[in-house]
A and B are shown apart, each in its own frame.
Chain A
Amino acid sequence: MRARDQRSRLASTGLHTALVGASVIAVFPIAWVVLTSLKTDRDTWARPGELGALGLGNYGQVLGDTQFLTWFGNSLIVATGTTLIGVLISATAGYAASRMRFPGQRPLMWLFLVTQMFPAAVLIVPLYNVLSDLGLLNSYAGLILAQCTIAVPYCAWMLKGYFDTIPVAIDEAGRIDGLSPFGTFWRLIVPLARPGISVTVFYAFVTAWGEVAFAGVFMQSEDRYPLPVGMATFVSDFKAEWGLLTAGSVLVMVPAAVVFFLVQRHLVAGLTAGGVKS
Chain B
Amino acid sequence: MTTTLSARAEAAPAPVPPRRPVRGFLARHWYAWAMVTPVVLVLAVLVLYPLAHGVYLSLTNATEMNSGRTIGVNEIPATYEFIGLENYFSVLSGADGAFYPRLLWTVQWTVICVALHYTIGLGLALLLNRALRMRTLYRMLLILPWAVPPFVAAFGWRLILNDEGGLLNAVLNVVGIPGVDWLGQPLAAKVSVIMVNVWLGVPFMMVALLGGLQTVPKELYEAAEMDGASPWQRFRAVTLPGLRPVSGTVILLGTIWTFNQFPVIALLTGGGPGGATNILVTEAYERAFQGIRDYAGAATYGAIIASMLVVFAFLYRRWLQRQTSEVLG
Show the binding face of A for B, using Cβ within 8 Å. 1, 4-5, 15-16, 18-19, 22-23, 25-27, 29-30, 32-33, 36, 45-49, 85, 89-90, 92-93, 95-97, 100-105, 107-108, 110-111, 113-130, 145-146, 148-149, 152-153, 156, 180-182, 185, 206, 209-210, 212-213, 216-217, 227-228, 231-232, 235, 242, 245-246, 249, 252-253, 256-257, 260-261, 264, 268-269, 271-272, 275-276
Flag if A15 contacts B149 (CB, 8 Å).
no
Flag if B130 contacts A5 (CB, 8 Å).
yes
Contacts of A47 in B (CB 8 A): 165, 170
The verdict on B15 contacting chain A, using a C-beta distance below 8 Å, is yes
Flag if B160 contacts A32 (CB, 8 Å).
yes
The verdict on B187 contacting chain A, using a C-beta distance below 8 Å, is no
Flag if A152 contacts B50 (CB, 8 Å).
no
Contact of A117 among B8, B54, B313 (CB under 8 A): B313
Contact of B245 among A118, A185, A257, A276 (CB under 8 A): A276
Flag if B164 contacts A22 (CB, 8 Å).
no
With A206-B149, A228-B151 in contact, is A103–B5 under 8 Å at CB? yes
14 A–B contacts, CB within 8 A, in A order = A23-B141, A29-B160, A30-B156, A48-B170, A49-B170, A101-B15, A104-B6, A115-B47, A117-B309, A120-B260, A123-B54, A124-B288, A213-B262, A216-B266
With A19-B127, A33-B156, A117-B313 in contact, is A26–B203 under 8 Å at CB? yes
Q: What's the nearest-Cβ distance from chain A to residue B317, in Å?
A: 7
A-B pairs, top 3 by smallest CB distance, nearest first, are A46-B165, A103-B9, A119-B260
Q: What's the nearest-Cβ distance from chain A to residue B269, in Å?
A: 13
Contact of B46 among A149, A156, A217, A275 (CB under 8 A): A149
Flag if A19 contacts B138 (CB, 8 Å).
yes
Flag if A130 contacts B313 (CB, 8 Å).
no
Flag if A104 contacts B282 (CB, 8 Å).
no
Cα(A246)–Cα(B42), bound, Å: 38
Contacts of B101 in A (CB 8 A): none
A-B contact count (CB 8 A): 300
With A124-B285, A245-B155, A272-B249 in contact, is A118–B309 under 8 Å at CB? yes
Chain A: which residue is nearest B151 at the CB level?
A: A228
The verdict on B148 contacting chain A, using a C-beta distance below 8 Å, is yes
The verdict on B118 contacting chain A, using a C-beta distance below 8 Å, is no
Chain B, 133-147, CB within 8 A of any chain A CB: 133, 138, 140-147
Chain B: which residue is nearest A229 at the CB level?
A: B151
Cα(A276)–Cα(B252), bound, Å: 11
Flag if B267 contacts A212 (CB, 8 Å).
yes
The verdict on B319 contacting chain A, using a C-beta distance below 8 Å, is no
Flag if A212 contacts B263 (CB, 8 Å).
yes
Contact of A249 among B132, B155, B310 (CB under 8 A): B155
Range of interface residues on B (Cβ < 8 Å): 35 or more
The verdict on B190 contacting chain A, using a C-beta distance below 8 Å, is no
With A228-B267, A275-B253, A276-B245 in contact, is A118–B47 under 8 Å at CB? yes
The verdict on B39 contacting chain A, using a C-beta distance below 8 Å, is yes
Please, what's the 1-or-0 string for B110-130, where 1 marks a CB less than 8 Å from any CB in chain A? 000000000000001001101
Contacts of A145 in B (CB 8 A): 46
- For the complex with contacts A114-B313, A119-B259, 11 further pairs of A-B residues with Cβ separation under 8 Å are A4-B221, A5-B130, A19-B138, A29-B153, A121-B288, A124-B285, A126-B57, A149-B50, A210-B151, A213-B263, A232-B151
Flag if B266 contacts A153 (CB, 8 Å).
no
Contacts of A97 in B (CB 8 A): 36
Contacts of B249 in A (CB 8 A): 272, 275-276
Chain B: which residue is nearest A104 at the CB level?
A: B5
Flag if B141 contacts A26 (CB, 8 Å).
yes
Flag if A120 contacts B262 (CB, 8 Å).
yes
Flag if A242 contacts B267 (CB, 8 Å).
no
Q: What's the nearest-Cβ distance from chain B to residue A197, in Å?
A: 16
Cα(A156)–Cα(B148), bound, Å: 24
Flag if B57 contacts A268 (CB, 8 Å).
no
Flag if B47 contacts A123 (CB, 8 Å).
yes
Chain B: which residue is nearest A145 at the CB level?
A: B46
With A33-B159, A48-B167, A242-B159 in contact, is A23–B138 under 8 Å at CB? yes
Cα(A45)–Cα(B162), bound, Å: 11
